[in-house]
A and B are shown apart, each in its own frame.
Chain A
Amino acid sequence: MLSAYLTMAALLFCIGLYGALAKRSTIIVLLSIELMLGAVNLNLVAFAKYGAAPALTGQIFALFTIAVAAAEVAVGIALAIALFRARGASRADEYNEMRR
């Protein structure tokens, strides 16, 4: 059963990676990063039950990951809103001020 959960998490991570690389909306890129973090959480919780040394620590680590992801989303959305106000751009490929 462990390999099934690991394969599922790998699939989710790769879908999130594709979304983060290919989509141009800032919001969708952030959401895809959340999907990748969710896949990592699935791995942590799966190892907490079926791993070589099963313990509750995996679930606690997943809780910490969720907290950090929530902080990341809050700051990311705030940045997207501030950039939209300053530049009128909501596409991730329009944020190229640092390159000019």
Chain B
Amino acid sequence: MNSTSVANEANYLKYKGKYKGLLGWIFSTDHKRIGLLYLYSMAIMFSVGVLLGLAMKLELLAPGKTIMEAQTYNATFTVHGVIMIFMVVVPGLPAVFGNFLLPIMIGAKDVAFPKLNLLSWWFYVAGVFLVLSAILFGSGTPDTGWTFYAPYSFKSGTNLLPAIFGAFILGFSSILTGLNFLVTIHRLRCPGLKWTKLPLFVWTLYGTAWIQLLATPVVGITLVLVALERIFGVGVFDPALGGDPILYQHLFWIYSHPAVYIMILPAMGAISEIIPTFSQKHIFGYKAIIASTMAIAFVGYLVWGHHMFTAGMSGTAQYYFSLLTFLVAIPSAIKVFNWISTMYKGSINIQTPFYWAVSFIFVFMIGGLSGLVLGALAANIYVHDTAFVVAHFHYIVFGGTGFAFFAAIHYWFPKIFGRMYDKTWANTGWLIFFIGFVTLYSPMFYLGMMGMPRRYYDYLQEFHGGNILSTIGSWILVTGFVIIIVNLVRSASKGPKAEMNPWHGKTLEWTVPSPPPLENFDEIPVIEENDGPYNYK
């Protein structure tokens, strides 16, 4: 016990380990430092992704060539996709907030395997550099789209191998994080913290970790096969040698659809923490949220075929995948119902995280309902591969996961940095970002319905109006993004000191100082019979 109290004199941002300075961070096995390492790496990659997106929108400002050639445009959307999917939204909330908060929320000193946790981050960085090397060196930037569809992924003359191996290693990082979280949640809950008393964010991390563990190896081996196809020509996906490219699509989506739930489940978890705190009311339907979380994790595994309705599939399979796609919408709707009901008759305290959370519900509903349009067989054929699809998944992935990420960073910021941000600027940033988001993506629903295809750098004259509006939206969104980032970065060092529990939350992270000490707790907390993560009066 003696050594603990010595360690806990300094908070985790300040303590000195074996190494000093930067080395003290990149070799630290402390879960909170690793969480921040992920946060910084992801913020960089996200900014790169945003710039690429901005460039694409600028290209689409007018028909024909505006700022780039078709080939450059193809490379741009490929790199934008690979960065945003594999480096930002898939690791996203689990890697940053899961790492930082999971051990604290369950009353533990660290995750079960701290060294493995650091290794995950190193894998992440290695993956990032591999992918970036594909852009900077070799025979051209990859142009296949982030899906690396066969047979083009082994016919394209661009420098795809490093990108594929990079994605493979990023997957490995994701598997190790998932494995670590599963063992942590099973083994390290503090005394009295029963499964029915776990905060919902922990529950969603648990569901996510299972998907990470069980789905990622599938895409891992599939990407290895594509690489082998490129190097040796083994024939598995090459129609010229008897292979079947459609099989590639199946294997790819067996992972990549569950990956959508890797992105959204922890986002839902964060929202399930924020809404009760700012309503000062017990979450409505605690067990229903848990059940729907696990249902999403399970059913989400079985719906991959809806990405391939036009690729060639038997009618029976199409009905089956369409039906299951509709089914998976139900647990998501249950959650929305629960969040709204939690607010009902609560004493609502309107703060920045709450704005983000309610706007999350708004955009998530639009994204979810447009997903049903795509899940319906007939409608899917009509809007397949149009801007409608792009609008749908940006509403879900950017609007869902992205908004929840911003909600989470504004919610836990005082805990992570021990300082409070400027609330006026934070709210202004949110408002501008929200307006920009809606202006950017809403016209794409319309454009898609009118028949504008995705992945083209050019379009017909009649789509001009909608595209101008969308491009202007991208500028508004970036303005909001810059305001948010500047405000947060400034406040991390200059903001006023934050209290231990500024939002009056009930989960365990609010019982430790801000920022938390090295090993979180001087003594492992004990949860009494009447305690609970949402026991507000």
Do A and B assemble together? no
